[in-house]
Amino acid sequence: MDVFIAVLNGKPVGACVTVIDNGSGSRYWVGTSPEHRSRGVGRAIMLGSLAPMAELPVTLTASRLGRPLYQSLGYTAVTTSTWSSSQ
Residue 83 has pLDDT above 80, yes or no: no
Asked whether 36 and 44 are in contact (CB, 8 A), the reply is no
Taking residues 7-20, report their average pLDDT.
Answer: 94
pLDDT at 4: 94
Residue 31 has pLDDT above 80, yes or no: yes
Q: Which residues contact 9 (CB under 8 A, 6 or more apart)?
A: none
Is there a domain that residue 13 lies in? Answer: yes
Alpha carbons 36 and 39: distance in angstroms, whole number: 6
Is there a domain that residue 86 lies in? Answer: no
Is there a domain that residue 22 lies in? Answer: yes
Is there a domain that residue 54 lies in? Answer: yes
Going by their DSSP bridges, the two strands 2-8 and 11-21 should be labelled as antiparallel
Asked whether 43 and 73 are in contact (CB, 8 A), the reply is yes
Is there a domain that residue 28 lies in? Answer: yes
Q: What is the pTM of this model?
A: 0.78
pLDDT at 24: 93
Asked whether 6 and 22 are in contact (CB, 8 A), the reply is no
Q: Domain range for residue 17?
A: 2-72
Q: Domain with 23 in it: what CATH number? A: 3.40.630.30
Taking residues 59-74, report their average pLDDT.
Answer: 87
Domain count, the chain: 1
